[in-house]
Amino acid sequence: NEIDIAVIPGDGIGPEVVTEAVKVLKFVTNGGKQDVKLTYYKLGAEHWLETGETLPDETLASIKQHDAILFGAVGAAPGDTRIPSGIIEREMLLKLRFSLDHYVNLRPSKLYPGIESPLSNPGAIDFIVVREGTEGPYVGNGGSVRTGTSHEIATEVSVNTAYGVERVVRDAFRRASERERKHVTLVHKHNVLVHAGHLWKRTVEAVAVEFPEVTHDYLHVDAATIFLTTDPSRFDVIVTDNLFGDILTDQAGAITGGIGLAASGNINMDRTYPSMFEPVHGSAPDIAGQQKADPTAAILSVALMLDHLGLSEEARSVEQAVEKEITSRQELTDNRTTSEIGDAIVALLA
């Protein structure tokens, strides 16, 4: 009984937070009946600088063999001009999400007791965002002509299919049906993005019929940012497209006390390829290597991974340990090192 994990620590604070995530993963599974096999892959901006490789075909083929992927963070320092902008994001991170058909980009948002929100009256924030992960404006379907001249035209094409929208909408309704409030909010901008928007809207109406116990409503993306500021506890499950999901989940991270706590799963629900679990935060080159990063988001991503692998008891243990650890924090400015926080969570698991 073994789980076989690909580990991609990546750049910046990635390796540090992944070290703690692995610590927790090993501890929680060895207490049970699982053996964990870890295979490390060196990928990211650093790796690109050394080798010129983003994600070679053989590496991708090898990664596909594992049960799941634990991912740290990638990205060079903002000022680093040696790396073509966005190349690691697109040719590595997004290539993984697209090649492995990670159509459910799951991002829970919760305001933990003891964590201070930048909102003065946040209420009880506890929602999940089901962000579509394989379509929308992220497909890379754009181009430019007369590039660099005063007659340049640059386009970006958002591609949305019934197949792609339906599977993620159904996933959102299923998740909602298992939650207490059982409510789905579709976020889009169908008054302007008519064609994509109406596909989403029609799909939600159709899938809703299969889940009579789940209620649903609709918000334009601009209005959603207002509600995330003035009344975030209204949300239970948000389902939205790839780009709107990117935007809203960063805002959601901010209102719940910072993306240092925000976990995510890039999930292939059909299990044709391994799913990938990663903190929402980036590589934060400014604090890298200093043991200043909070590993909590990476550790909560391990909980999402355990859930996906059917180890829900272990997943709950990790979540509860994290919740206890967070609640015990005296103040937001936490001076403990990355590994001290990891150790504290392991101690609570013991």
189 is catalytic: yes
Residue type, 234: R
Residues between 90 and 109 with contacts to a copy of itself, criterion CB under 8 A: 90, 94
42 is catalytic: no
Nearest to 299 by CA among 262, 348, 254, 337: 262
String of DSSP letters for 240-281: E-HHHHHHHHHHHHHHTT-GGG-EEEEE-TT-SS-EEEEESS
* In the complex, residue closest to ligand IPM by CB: 89
Nearer residue to ligand IPM within complex by CB, 29 or 105: 105
Nearer residue to ligand IPM within complex by CB, 28 or 104: 104
Torsion angle, CA of 216/218/219/224, rounded to 10 degrees?
20
Q: Which residues contact 278 (CB under 8 A, 6 or more apart)?
A: 70, 71, 72, 73, 264, 266, 298, 301
Residue type, 162: A
317 binds, among ligand IPM, a copy of itself, none (CB under 5 to 8 A by kind): none
Instruction: Tell me: does residue 192 bind ligand IPM (CB under 6 A).
Output: yes
**Smallest gap from residue 108 Cβ to ligand IPM (A):** 14
Instruction: Tell me: does residue 340 bind ligand IPM (CB under 6 A).
Output: no
Nearer residue to a copy of itself within complex by CB, 2 or 217: 217
Binding mask 63-102 for ligand IPM (x = CB under 6 A): --------------------------x---xx--------
Residue 293 is assigned to a ligand binding site: yes
Nearer residue to ligand IPM within complex by CB, 132 or 246: 246
Instruction: Tell me: does residue 332 bind a copy of itself (CB under 8 A).
Output: no
Residues between 31 and 70 with contacts to a copy of itself, criterion CB under 8 A: none
What is the token pair recorded at 232?
């975030």
Residue 241 is assigned to a ligand binding site: no
Q: Note whether 186 and 122 are within 8 A (CB).
A: no
**Smallest gap from residue 166 Cβ to a copy of itself (A):** 7
What is the token pair recorded at 322?
């994290």
Give just the sign of the alpha carbon dihedral 107, 111, 113, 117. Answer: positive
Q: CA 66 to CA 240: how far, in whole Å?
A: 29
**Smallest gap from residue 280 Cβ to ligand IPM (A):** 6
Residues between 230 and 269 with contacts to a copy of itself, criterion CB under 8 A: 230, 243, 246-251, 253-255, 258-259
Residue 341 is assigned to a ligand binding site: no
Task: Indicate which residue of 41, 112, 138, 273 is catalytic.
Answer: 138
For residue 281, CA distances in Å to 176, 293, 294 come to 25, 10, 10
Q: Is 147 left (phi over 0), alpha (psi -120 to 50) or beta?
A: beta
What is the token pair recorded at 25?
């993963």
> Tokens 């990476």 identify what position?
298
Q: CA 58 to CA 71: how far, in whole Å?
A: 18
Q: Note whether 279 and 16 are within 8 A (CB).
A: no
222 is catalytic: yes
Residue 101 is assigned to a ligand binding site: no
Question: At 127, which helix (H) or strand (E)?
Answer: strand 126-132
287 binds, among ligand IPM, a copy of itself, none (CB under 5 to 8 A by kind): none
Q: Is 180 exposed, middle or buried (0-12, 13-18, 19+ CB in 10 A)?
A: exposed
> Binding site for substrate: what residues are annotated?
97, 107, 131, 222
Q: Which residues bind ligand IPM (CB under 6 A)?
A: 89, 93-94, 191-192, 222, 246, 280
Pick out the residues of the known binding site: 97, 107, 131, 222, 246, 250, 282-294
Which residues have a catalytic role annotated?
A: 138, 189, 222, 246, 250
Binding site for a copy of itself (CB under 8 A): 85-86, 89-90, 94, 117-121, 137-138, 140, 142-144, 146, 148-163, 166, 189-199, 202, 221-223, 225-226, 228-230, 243, 246-251, 253-255, 258-259
